[in-house]
Amino acid sequence: MRKVVEALRLTFDQGLSQRDVARSLGISQGSVHAYVSRFAASGLPWPPPSEMGQAELEARLFKRSPRPSTSSGAARPVPDWPTVHQELKRKGVTLQLLWTEYKADYPDGYQYTQFCQHYHVWAATLEPALRQVHVAGERTFVDYAGQTMPVLHLTTGEERDAQIFISALGASHLLYCEATWTQTLSDWLGAQVRMLEYYGGATALIVPDNASAIVRRPCYYEPELHPSYAEFAAHYSTAILPTRIAAPRDKAKAETGVQIIEREVLAPLRHTQFTSLAELNHALALGRERVNNRPFQKLPGTRRQLFDEIERALLRPLPTTRYELADWCRAKVNIDYHISVEQHLYSVPYTLVGAKVDVRLTASAVEILFDGKRVAAHLRSRFKGRFTTDPAHRPKSHQHHLDWTPSRLIRWGTEIGSATGKVVAEILARFPHPEQGYRACLGLLSLRRRYGDTRLEAATTRALATGAVSYRSVKSILTSGLDHLPFEPASEPALALPPTHANIRGPGYYRTDDTTDHRRPPDDLPDEGQDNRQDDRQDDLQQLPLLPEHPPLPGGYVT
């Protein structure tokens, strides 16, 4: 339309011939003639009224509207474009389907080509696109492609779809892509670690979408990142800026990168059978480098050259150590100052009993944080139902109590002297459980602070000799000063012979041979006594009932 207005200006204002006008504008003389004739037929004055725009001038000259008319007096029925726009958001709904329904209601309506053209003209007025200009070293856009690549398992013969991670730098648009099995947190962070190593540095911002694996709580103003993703950003001195929900234009570079990778890297590999993830990543790397080294269509150079010239030097250097993926969880400190993580118990300082702490789990370590500060660290254990305890986390009373072991108490006593060690051992052996004797042993060992090692050893020696092995006996010896007196062990007392008496049975009474009559009284009894007892015994036998005879039992005994 610009050349139409310029042709009219040169004709009516400058008075040039149509040939000169055509030569000046680089168009044919017939076109200039057609423009002048249409203007003369429109009845418009020259110059046209100032309030008339180019669109209205074009409509008057060429008898057409620049966009579909929404008035009821249009020659053809105009579709309800807002309804068409909303219907297109439904899954499976296309312009072809909507046009078919439109033609069923209005047979004399627009054909399919005009229908689509008028819709796109109307839709362009809804939300004009903003062309974004990105500063070198400022942003990296990351996303996963919708397309996957199948990988065949040689043993089982099953195919598994691999996910394709893609990133693009904002200024140079240098692309990176790799295949991962899933889109979980570990794969998201692992792919971004390798992405930064490929670029050789980190940008100030990383722009992902609101994937649930990396963004815990999407929010327009304050999105909540997964703690591991936030830790990843801090490790590489960058920041995470998730896009708005359902706003793909916020990461247009990533969307464009996905399109390029799908068309120029994945599509050529559609007939290739991959049997491992490493094999697929090797093919993706070759295709990625081919795209990064391919010349731009409308700009000089390549993505790689542009990256080396303007962006490489502005990236932030990577740390010396690689980021180690960590899982985070929360736990409550139990009354025994331990927390349960994967059914294993780890200790924390006893002052945190009842508090909730953050737990950071790596492949080899467990870190426990409270209010953002690390309060405990342990080696990670895979044994369930067991304890990992740092003695420094116990209260002082618990530390002293756990120091009381039988072997340690005996060793403490032996350091004083052999007699003291024996007394401690005998006190511990006296009880069913050694812990019942701990307090007595500790009381015994505490006497050294008042009386010294020499006196305590002397006192325990006397206690062992007298058989009075106890804390009270040793303390009594020390209190009364018996440990200062020379100790003479008592001599063995002589055995006293039993007295001789007529009523005391001698050893012969218990003899079991047949010749001994156990009922016979001793010989030294008076004769009259013997006769009297013999007569009484005969009278008793005559009063007993007669019993049947029985055969003799084995061994010569009869009943």
Q: Are residues 274 and 160 in the same domain?
A: yes
Question: Residues 240, 165: one domain?
Answer: yes
DSSP letters spanning 203-265: -SEEE----TTTEEE--SS--EE-HHHHHHHHHTT-EE-PPPTT-GGGGHHHHHHHHHHIIII
pLDDT at 258: 92
Q: Please, which residues have CB within 8 angstroms of residue 239's CB and are 6 or more apart in sequence? A: 204, 205, 206, 233
Final residue before a domain boundary, out of 454, 484, 514: 484
**Tokens describing residue 155:** 């043993």
Provide the token pair at 259: 């399109």
pLDDT score at 511: 63
Phi-psi region of 196 (alpha: psi -120 to 50; beta: other; left: phi over 0): alpha
pLDDT of residue 221: 74
77 and 189 co-located in one domain: no
Q: Could you tell me if 244 and 183 lie in one domain? A: yes
Which tens digits make up the pLDDT trace of 362-410? 878 899 999 989 999 999 888 888 889 888 888 876 666 666 678 878 8
- Are 308 and 169 within 8 A, CB to CB? no
Q: How far apart are CA 82 and CA 86, in angstroms?
A: 6
Name the domain count of the chain: 5
Same-domain pairing of 174 and 35? no
Contacts of 556 (CB under 8 A, 6+ apart): none
Please report the pLDDT score of residue 542 as a whole number. 47
pLDDT at res. 252: 83
For residue 90 the two structure tokens come to 């439904």
End of a domain among 484, 505, 538? 484
Alpha-carbon distances, residue 170 vs 3, 192, 256, 289, 303 (angstroms): 37, 16, 11, 18, 11
**484, 500, 516 - which closes a domain:** 484
Question: Is residue 556, in this structure, part of any structural domain at all?
Answer: no
Q: Based on the domain organization, do 266 and 354 belong to the same domain? A: no
| Residue 441 resides in a domain | yes
Range of the domain at 224: 139-314
**150 plus 227 within the same structural domain:** yes
pLDDT for residue 501: 65
Question: Looking at residue 187, what is its pLDDT?
Answer: 92
Q: Is 319 contained in some domain? A: no
Whether residues 347 and 445 share a domain: the answer is no
pLDDT in tens, the chain (559 residues): 567 777 887 787 777 788 887 877 778 888 888 888 887 887 777 777 776 776 777 777 776 544 444 444 446 888 988 888 877 767 678 899 999 999 998 888 899 999 999 988 888 776 565 566 678 889 999 999 999 999 998 888 899 999 999 999 988 999 999 999 999 998 999 999 999 999 999 999 999 998 888 998 888 777 888 888 998 999 999 999 998 887 777 788 888 899 999 999 999 999 999 999 999 999 999 999 999 999 988 778 899 999 999 899 999 999 999 998 888 889 999 888 899 998 899 999 989 988 999 998 887 889 999 998 999 999 988 888 888 988 888 887 666 666 667 887 888 888 889 998 898 888 888 876 666 677 788 888 888 888 998 888 888 888 888 888 888 889 898 898 888 887 666 555 555 666 666 666 666 666 655 554 544 444 444 444 444 444 544 444 444 444 444 455 454 444 4
| Domain co-membership, 243 together with 169 | yes
Phi and psi at residue 476, to the nearest 5°: -65, -40
Residue 233 Cα distances to 107, 193, 323, 465, 551, angstroms: 59, 10, 10, 75, 107
Q: Are residues 480 and 370 in the same domain?
A: no
**523 part of a folded domain:** no
332 token code pair: 């409550």
Structure tokens that stand for 509 in this block? 């009474």
Domain identity same for 148 and 295? yes
Q: What is the pLDDT of residue 529?
A: 46
The CATH number of the domain holding residue 273 is: 3.30.420.10
CATH number, domain with residue 35: 1.10.10
Tell me the per-residue pLDDT of 67-109, one tens digit each, with 9 for 90 and over.
444 444 446 888 988 888 877 767 678 899 999 999 998 888 8
- Assess if residue 541 is contained within a domain: no
- Look at residue 13 and tell me if it is in a domain: yes
My answer on whether 217 and 344 are in the same domain is: no
Cα 135 off chain centre by: 35
Tell me if 531 is assigned to some domain. Answer: no
In-domain check, residue 490? no
